[in-house]
Amino acid sequence: MKSESANDRSAASDHIEHRWTFLTNHAHVLLLLARNPSMILREVAALVGITERAVQRIIADLEGDGFIVRERVGRQNHYRILREQKLRHAVGVHRTIGDLLRIIDSK
């Protein structure tokens, strides 16, 4: 049996990064803002792996649909997650955003 080289492992990990994930970009952005409500959008974009403009659109979606509130604190935005809001899909409508965040971020 042939052993796996460092290059093979690196190629495999690169391949995994480009595959689908269980969470949407909206969920990733929401999770990051829940962890750090004052995170700048450039950081969010880098961590999620999308453009800053895409993060702006996602925040507009989340804010427009009543899942977050944007508050200006000095020169920075602060995002408050409305954790009591129900999930939108029929499969999870009995759960809240807070439930989702607790499940994903539990240790």
CATH number at 93 reads 1.10.10.10
In a domain, 1, yes or no: no
pLDDT in tens, 37-77: 999 999 999 999 999 999 999 999 999 999 999 999 999 99
Burial readout 6-44 (b: 16 or more C-beta within 10 A, e: otherwise): eeeeeeeeeeeeeeeeeeebbbbbbbbbbeebebebeeb
pLDDT of residue 16: 54
Average pLDDT of every residue of the chain: 87
User: Domain range holding 67?
Assistant: 6-105
> How many domains is the chain partitioned into structurally?
1
Q: For residues 12 and 78, give the distance between their C-alpha atoms in angstroms, rounded to a whole number.
A: 38
pLDDT of residue 61: 98
pLDDT in tens, 88-98: 899 999 999 99
Q: Report which of residues 10 and 20 the model is more confident about.
A: 20
In a domain, 70, yes or no: yes
